[in-house]
Amino acid sequence: MTRSKIELGDVTPHNIKQLKLLNQVVFPVSYNEKFYKDVLEAGELAKLAYYNDIVVGAVCCRVDTSENSRRLYIMTLGCLYPYRRLGIGTVMVQHVLNYVYKDGNFDSIFLHVQISNEGAIDFYKKFGFEIVETKEHYYKRIEPADAHVLQKTLRPKTNQTNNQQINQ
């Protein structure tokens, strides 16, 4: 028996429709045209996941520079239901982790997860993510509307005012 192969590929204007379809199937929220326009410019931060050459998942991230820190925001990371638990999500998270470690200049990685999505919460906890806050009414059209913010800290946040002295 040959081992199934999981590969990541770039999102291009030629396959962006596959990403749209995948997201429609996997996520309860819909993403607008601007989201997909940004994804096309995201380079290594957006990948389609192939399982035996079939698109079964995708990850889309962006760099977030709010709150005085440089963070990587995972906008979407999902896999079609029949292909879950085959290591595809892990390959996608690993890609994101490799990206931030190679870059070396991120404070943390974060994402929002619907509070009822225990599978996703457990999945991210395996990679060292933790729930840092819960946002009420984060989602507009789905129930429950609240989201946990899961974060993996890459470097400790030092007190902003003392930064100058510490980094001398």
Which residues are catalytic, by number? 73, 112
Amino acid letter, 77: L
Q: Using an 8 Å Cβ cutoff, are 47 and 10 in contact?
A: yes
Closest listed residue to residue 120, CA positions, set 154, 84, 166: 84
- The Cα–Cα gap between 74 and 88 comes to 16
Q: To the nearest 10°, the Cα dihedral for 9, 18, 119, 65?
A: 70
Q: Using an 8 Å Cβ cutoff, are 78 and 23 in contact?
A: yes
Q: In a 3-state reduction of DSSP, which class is residue 113?
A: strand
What backbone phi and psi angles, to 5 degrees, belong to 120?
-65, -40
Query: Which residue in this structure is represented by tokens 């085959």?
Result: 86
Amino acid letter, 47: K
